[in-house]
Structure 1
Amino acid sequence: MTDKQAWDERRPGERYYLVREDILPDALVKTAQAKELLARGEVKTIHEAAEQVDLSRSAFYKYKDGIFPLSKLERERIVTISMDLEHRSGILSRVLAMIAGLEGNVLTIHQSIPLQGVANVVISVETSLMGDPIGVLLDALREQDGVTRVHLVGQG
């Protein structure tokens, strides 16, 4: 078995390439353009976006999940953090304000019902505007009054 075959068996569909736009097929470039139109709100439907860039909807659907602008991939950094918070008024609000103060954008929050005076909170935070997102964020959370445990669940 060659190295390439071994790679393909371990990670099917997960190989990425950085390719200049001018050598991409038109359908891929037009799919990226259509996605940008949709993201900016210049069109409301996939049909409108595909029509505006002269692309079939079937080609759009075929390629939409496989092409992204490099700048978007570099910017999007999401961390998911689990914390235990003491059951006292205002602790979660202070945690959220601290995250916002560090330029973090809270995407999701899940809080359990407090048991024995402690509630578990799992939050996902988009950290693209933060300088050193994970280290600074985790340290700041650990220093917050009422936060008894902080654990990084994942990042992407």
Structure 2
Amino acid sequence: MEQQPKYYIVEASLLPEVFLKVAQANRCLQSGEIRTVGEATQKVGLSRSAYYKYKDGIKPLFEAATQSIITFSLMVSDRAGVLSGILSVFARSGANILTINQSIPVNGQAAVTIAARTGGMDRSVEQLMAEIMSISGVARMEILARE
């Protein structure tokens, strides 16, 4: 039976320099700033062999989260269009919404829980959350669970 990979959250200053350089090279390539691995590794001062050894295992936290099912918890105003605006952001990002639960509003606020598969998104989870938080009527948004 194939063993599932294990992941750890480590503060960046504790990581060996090679891991940070791989992350920098990945960012250069993903942004389109640089088009080849050779150029990216040269820019960050890393050997190509070290890059290829670690490239698939090093991802920023929110990028790694895009490969999973994430359950978000929100507190929203009881106003027409707020939930619709939130769902539009999910749709534009490429997230696949699996479930939506909304409580009955109390004092003009409703709790909303949204579970979404985030692997197809064209932005980071952090960017998605920032865009949703900018919607008038969204008071709070946090990650409740990751699978």
What TM-score, normalized by structure 1, do the two folds share?
Answer: 0.51
Q: Residue 87 of structure 1 aligns with which residue?
A: 78
Task: Tell me, yes or no, if structure 1 residue 133 matches structure 2 residue 124.
Answer: yes
Pair 1:17–1:96, CA change in 2 (3 A): closer
> Which residue in 1 is equivalent to 2:104?
113
SS of aligned partner of 1:144: coil
The sequence identity of aligned pairs, in percent, is 31
State the distance in 1 between where 2:97 and 2:4 align.
30
SS in 2 for 1:89: coil
| Larger Rg, first or second structure (1 or 2) | 1
Q: Deviations over 1:58-84 (max 9, x none)?
A: xxxxxxxxxxxxxxxxx8521100000
Decide whether aligned partners of structure 1 residues 102 and 115 sit closer, same or farther in structure 2, where only a CA change above 3 A counts. same
Distance in structure 2 (CA, Å) of the matches to 1:17 and 1:81: 25
Structure 1: gaps spanning 5 or more residues? 1-14, 19-74
Q: Count residues in correspondence.
A: 87
1:145 equivalent in structure 2 = 136
Which residue number in structure 2 is paired with residue 16 of structure 1? 3
| Alpha-carbon spacing, 1:17–1:89, altered in 2? closer, same or farther (3 Å) | closer
Structure with the bigger RCO (C-alpha within 8 Å, sep 6+) is 2
Secondary structure of 1:136's aligned partner: helix
Q: What pairs with 1:46-57 in structure 2 (closer than 5 Å)?
A: none
